[in-house]
Amino acid sequence: MRIREQSSSLCDTESKQYTGWLEAKGKHLFFWYVESLSDPQNDPLNLWMTGGPGCSGLIGMMMELGPCLINEDGSGTRRNPFSWTANASMIFIDQPAGTGFSYVDEGVEMPSDSFTAAEDVHIFLQIFYSAFPHLSSLPFHISGESYGGHYVPTVAAEIVRYNKLDPGLRAGLKIPLKSVMIGDGFVSPLDTTYGYYDTLCTTKPGVDTPIFNETRCTQIREALPRCVSLHESCYQNPDPILCHAADSFCSGQIRALFDNETGEGGRDPFDITRTCEVDQLCYTGVLRIQDYVNEPSIRDVLGVPKQVGNFTVLNEEIQDLFGQGNDLYVNTAREILFLLENEVDVLIYNGNLDLACNTAGNLRWTERVAWAGQADFVSQDMRVWHAPKDGKTIEAGTMKEVAVKANSQSKKPSRFSFVTVDRAGHMVPLDQPEISLHLINTWLIGGEL
């Protein structure tokens, strides 16, 4: 266990902050823990995981929702007035092992699927709570975006399964998990592809004319039935050969129509109204973060071990491993079902300009989760919700929500909410920081939008 308290030299959090590495079976996971600006002794704890797979949690911290953001020239950081640490303490983690500043011992393999990674994160959390025991009495939430649609449900499900064990079989703490929050999540690969038509062939706030012409939209319409059929076969029988074939067809006939035109100066799958700034992840901000934390002086302040090589915001080896391990084709909606059945609240939010993990696709799978609240959820129309922005209250997007007891043994209702955010892409906290903070703060206190 290596933990050090940080000063404001790297990030002026205006509250206590700690960085370090915790070991899980030869896997050393890097974290940056920042206490709440409001009431750290009583405010909830929120774990943040960026997607990828293989993307560093520092993208979320320094480009979206952390207390400080990378500045324009990458030489330092600036305060974020809409940090999610306003009313919650935050853990930003580099996981799976091998991501960002996290690393593995010699002879230890990096994870190749979300479920193995979830076991590692659960061990990490047990050690983290032993280092900060006062947090064990506070509500715990898990949040993430993009491939966080795989990470967040699997980590949460791992916690719930452990908590349900007979006390005699539990060596560690029952983590007080209250909810999960998934932004623009990659949950169901089938539904992500299904949403390409709605995203590219219809209008919405910020998109007055469809992105694709009728020829391309017709091609998507005609390919979707076969794509859906193949993916459903993969879900029913997750054989790697079958799943790769399904993904190959859907990619070649549908996703490639857009994806082949991405990259620097091309289309941006994370915001269909933008042009890609750089090849990797389309945002120059991620490269500024990468350059900043690779500075020898920064690594020295963080105490980066010699075993850690050059920091990259995206470890492509992990991405390849997850593809080879079939994880890219898994539907984690079943983990969402498990959470709802075990009294864990679920918030799904989506930027309407995102194609990579689009609103239409994520709405489709949320309506197919077969739990006690499904009928009420499906029958509801989306309604407008409002949020503050620049001193005014505006229409922020649409939403629907149910709160239903999952079964006769349930002690409380499970809350399931789907929220869209207009004029936001894949990274809602980046595009609409004030609105996203309002959304999260409202959720954390159990309020209504």
| Vertex 421 angle, CA 198 and 268, to 5° | 60
Residues 6 or more apart in contact with residue 16 via CB below 8 angstroms: 5, 34, 35, 40
| Vertex 8 angle, CA 6 and 11, to 5° | 90
Bridge partners, 346 (sequence order): 180, 416
Q: What is the pTM of this model?
A: 0.96
* Rounded mean pLDDT, 13-21: 96
Residues 4/18, Cβ–Cβ less than 8 Å: yes
Task: Give all domains of the chain, ordered by start, each with its CATH number.
Answer: 191-280 (1.10.287.410)
The whole-angstrom separation of Cα 122 and Cα 245 is 33
- Active-site residue (options: 146, 179, 188, 414): 146
How far from 16 is each of 39, 46, 63, 204, 302, CA to CA, in Å?
12, 15, 20, 42, 15
426 given a catalytic annotation: yes
pLDDT number for residue 250: 97
Q: 95-143 pLDDT, tens per residue?
A: 999 999 999 999 999 999 999 999 999 999 999 999 999 999 999 999 9
Task: Give SS3 for 57.
Answer: coil
CA max distance for the chain? 63
Strands 68-70 and 77-79: antiparallel
Residues 332/348, Cβ–Cβ less than 8 Å: no
pLDDT number for residue 403: 97
Q: What DSSP letter does each residue of 386-422 carry, written as one string? A: EEEETTEEEEEEEEEEEEE-SSTT-SSPEEEEEEEET
pLDDT number for residue 256: 96
pLDDT number for residue 24: 85
Q: 333-390 pLDDT, tens per residue?
A: 999 999 999 999 999 999 999 999 999 999 999 999 999 999 999 999 999 999 999 9
The whole-angstrom separation of Cα 152 and Cα 149 is 6
Task: Provide the pLDDT confidence category of residue 85 given band limits of 50, 70 and 90.
Answer: very high
* Rounded mean pLDDT, 74-80: 95
Mean pLDDT estimate for the chain? 96
The whole-angstrom separation of Cα 417 and Cα 155 is 19
Task: Provide the pLDDT confidence category of residue 1 given band limits of 50, 70 and 90.
Answer: confident
Backbone angles phi, psi at 146, to 5 degrees: 60, -120
Q: 194-250 pLDDT, tens per residue?
A: 999 999 999 988 899 999 999 999 999 999 999 999 999 999 999 999 999 999 999
Bridge partners, 384 (sequence order): 398
- Helices vs. strands in the chain: H and E counts, helices first: 15, 14
105 given a catalytic annotation: no
* Rounded mean pLDDT, 257-270: 94
Strands 177-185 and 345-351: parallel
- Active-site residue (options: 150, 231, 426, 438): 426
pLDDT number for residue 279: 83
39 given a catalytic annotation: no
- Active-site residue (options: 43, 120, 268, 354): 354
* Rounded mean pLDDT, 409-420: 97
pLDDT number for residue 314: 97
- Bigger pLDDT: 168 vs 429: 429
Residues 99/29, Cβ–Cβ less than 8 Å: no
Q: 20-52 pLDDT, tens per residue?
A: 999 988 999 999 999 999 999 999 999 999 999
How is residue 355 annotated by DSSP?
S
Residues 101/30, Cβ–Cβ less than 8 Å: yes
Residues 48/92, Cβ–Cβ less than 8 Å: yes
